[in-house]
């Protein structure tokens, strides 16, 4: 029983960690990467569709992303969706390709992005602590129902705390890497 609780707790923590990685990937640095536009949706015949499903996204160089729509009439829709996204990008249509240049980050914008990254990391830490709390509550319920002994409950809580500490350390490591990335000129 305790092993099942530990396993499901670890799976939940790993999902939270993956969600943080995705969120951090959306925060842009001065460099271009194709994954930056992954979360953008466009209106494709009345249905919201991910950009990657209606166009090819590639890198032209270190500071430029190119988007090649598979249908010519999607050019303006995709350009508008990128412009209206929360990324602060200004796409330009050149023939049948949309070029998305990455503007250099100002010092002020870097600090703002660092604050956003720290907020995301704190939200992930809170999620980890909530998962730990739920697992510990589950252990206490098993103890009340006399399905496990007190020693087993305490041992289970210690193991869950070790899991939590390990995942929070991973969050801190991801945060440090992203902050260094943002502040690099």
pLDDT at residue number 127:
94
The ranges of the chain annotated as CATH 1.10.132.20 are 2-26+106-183
The ranges of the chain annotated as CATH 3.30.1360.40 are 34-101
Helix axes 107-144, 2-26, angle to 10 degrees: 170
* Residue 101 vs residues 65, 66, 98: alpha-carbon distances, Å: 6, 9, 10
Q: Which two tokens stand for residue 68?
A: 């090649």
pLDDT at residue number 62:
78
Q: Which CATH superfamily is domain 2-26+106-183 in?
A: Ribosome-recycling factor (1.10.132.20)
pTM for the structure as a whole? 0.67
33-38: long-range contacts, CB 8 A cutoff, minimum separation 24 = 33/59, 33/65, 34/58, 34/59, 34/65, 36/65, 36/87, 37/65, 37/67, 37/82, 37/85, 37/87, 37/100
Within 8 A by CB and 6+ apart from 105, the residues are 29, 30, 113, 182
Helix axes 150-183, 2-26, angle to 10 degrees: 10
Question: What does R_g of the chain's alpha carbons equal in angstroms?
Answer: 22
pLDDT at residue number 180:
87
Query: What's the topology of domain 34-101?
Result: Gyrase A; domain 2 (3.30.1360)
Stretches in the chain below the pLDDT threshold 50: none
* Residue 130 vs residues 57, 74, 140, 170: alpha-carbon distances, Å: 37, 43, 15, 17
């Amino acid at each position: 029983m305790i092993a099942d609780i530990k396993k499901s707790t670890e799976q939940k923590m790993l999902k939270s960690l993956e969600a943080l990685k995705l969120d951090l990937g959306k925060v842009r640095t001065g460099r271009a990467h194709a994954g930056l536009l992954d979360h953008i949706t466009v209106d494709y015949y009345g249905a919201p569709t991910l950009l990657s499903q209606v166009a090819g996204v590639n890198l032209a160089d270190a500071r430029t992303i190119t988007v090649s729509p598979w249908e010519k009439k999607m050019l303006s829709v995709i350009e508008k969706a990128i412009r209206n996204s929360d990324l602060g990008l200004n796409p330009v249509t050149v023939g049948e390709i949309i070029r998305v240049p990455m503007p250099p980050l100002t010092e002020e914008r870097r600090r703002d992005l660092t604050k956003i990254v720290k907020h995301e990391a704190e939200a992930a830490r809170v999620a980890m602590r909530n998962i730990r709390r739920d697992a510990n509550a589950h252990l206490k319920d098993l103890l009340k129902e006399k399905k496990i002994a007190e020693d087993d409950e305490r041992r289970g809580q210690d193991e869950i705390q070790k899991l939590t500490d390990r995942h929070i350390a991973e969050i801190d490591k991801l945060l440090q890497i992203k902050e260094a990335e943002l502040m690099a000129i």
